[in-house]
Amino acid sequence: MPTYCYYCETCEQEFDAVQSIKDDPLEECPICKENGKISTPPKRLISKTSFSLKGGGWAADKYSK
């Protein structure tokens, strides 16, 4: 299952959540919930992927016809 990064504007903290791709985004911040605060729904962040192409080829050589 993928890990998603979230940002809560109420407590101004980032946190990770392991969710299925089919799951809806979180409605509550677990940090605020733990501290007894009511939070706005946290925002799902777009994170940098760890995917990279190795070796020669179009990505490394900027291949074009």
What is the count of structural domains for the chain?
1
**Mean per-residue pLDDT over the chain, rounded:** 83
16: in domain: yes
Say if 37 falls within a structural domain: yes
- The structure's pTM equals 0.68
> Is the per-residue pLDDT at 41 higher than 90?
yes
Torsion angle defined by CA atoms of residues 57, 58, 64 and 65, in that order, rounded to the nearest 10 degrees: 50
DSSP 8-class letter at 28: S
From the list 50, 53, 56, 8, the residue with the least C-alpha distance to 29 is 8
Predicted confidence at residue 2, as pLDDT, reads 83
Residue 60: what pLDDT?
Answer: 55
Range(s) of the domain holding residue 41: 3-46
Check residues 18 and 60 and name the one with the higher pLDDT.
Answer: 18
Per-residue pLDDT at 63 = 55
Residue 17 tokens read as: 């959540």
Please tell me the predicted confidence (pLDDT) of residue 53: 67
Residue 25 is given by DSSP the state: P
pLDDT at 58: 59
